[in-house]
Every structure is written in structure tokens, then in C-alpha cells.
């Protein structure tokens, strides 16, 4: 009697466990769940890519510093200012003379310096 009860209980427990396992898998395969999983993976991938980019940037800065030290280049202690803008005075290359007609300037005379 105890043997039958033991096996009946063991079989019922195994059936409940298997049913729950199948239902969990079915819920994971529903479209909403698949979309959520894809979104989670995309966010995780984005974080990994960002961390990779930060690591690459830090490595580049370290390598640049090593190269500066190896080549004897020193970074200036104070940032240098840009020089003041210069205004160039341009001389006109061509002098155009215009004839005056009854209504003011009419156009080139054909005697311009070229």
C-alpha cells in the first residue's frame, strides 16, 4: 500500500513539474514575450558596445600619452590662445570705368584694366 502511494505521489509530482515546465516554455514563445526578450538583448548589446567604446577611448588616450612620452613631446601647461584675426586690405585688381548716360551708369566702356 505504501509502495503504491509513493509511486502515485512521485508520478503526480513529475506530471505537475513537467506541465509547469511546458507552460513556461510556451509563455516564452508568445510574441509579446519574444519582443520583450529581443528588446532586453538589444539594450544589453547597447550597453556592451558603449562600454567597449569607452574602453577603446581610454586605451587610445593611454597609448597617445605613451607615444608623447616616447617621442619627447610635452603638452603645454596652459592652453594657447588663437591669434587675433587680421583684416587684409585687398586692392581691387580691376578698375572699371563706366560711362554715364542720361539715366546714370550705363555699363562698362571697354577701356577697363585687365
Residues 113/91, Cβ–Cβ less than 8 Å: no
What's the CA gap between 24 and 22, in Å, rounded? 5
Q: Is residue 44 part of a domain?
A: yes
Number of domains in the chain: 1
Whole domain around residue 50: which residue ranges? 38-70
67-92: per-residue pLDDT in tens? 998 888 876 667 778 778 777 666 55
Question: Which residues lie across from 107 on neighbouring strands?
Answer: 99
Q: Is residue 18 part of a domain?
A: no
Q: Is residue 48 part of a domain?
A: yes
Residue 104, H or E segment: strand 104-108
Q: Is residue 56 part of a domain?
A: yes
Please state which of the ranges 61-65, 77-81, 107-111 shows the lowest mean pLDDT.
Answer: 107-111
Mean pLDDT of the chain: 82
Q: Is residue 4 part of a domain?
A: no
Specify the pTM.
Answer: 0.42
29-45: per-residue pLDDT in tens? 888 888 999 999 999 99
Amino acid at each position: 500500500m505504501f509502495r503504491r502511494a509513493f509511486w502515485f505521489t512521485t508520478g503526480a509530482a513529475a506530471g505537475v513539474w513537467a506541465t509547469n515546465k511546458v507552460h513556461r516554455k510556451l509563455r516564452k514563445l508568445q510574441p509579446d514575450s519574444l519582443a520583450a526578450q529581443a528588446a532586453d538583448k538589444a539594450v544589453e548589446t547597447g550597453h556592451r558596445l558603449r562600454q567597449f567604446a569607452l574602453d577603446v577611448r581610454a586605451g587610445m588616450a593611454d597609448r597617445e600619452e605613451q607615444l608623447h612620452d616616447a617621442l619627447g613631446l610635452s603638452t603645454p601647461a596652459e592652453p594657447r590662445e588663437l591669434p587675433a584675426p587680421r583684416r587684409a586690405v585687398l586692392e581691387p585688381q580691376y578698375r572699371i570705368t563706366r560711362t554715364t548716360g542720361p539715366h546714370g551708369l550705363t555699363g562698362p566702356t571697354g577701356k577697363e584694366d585687365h
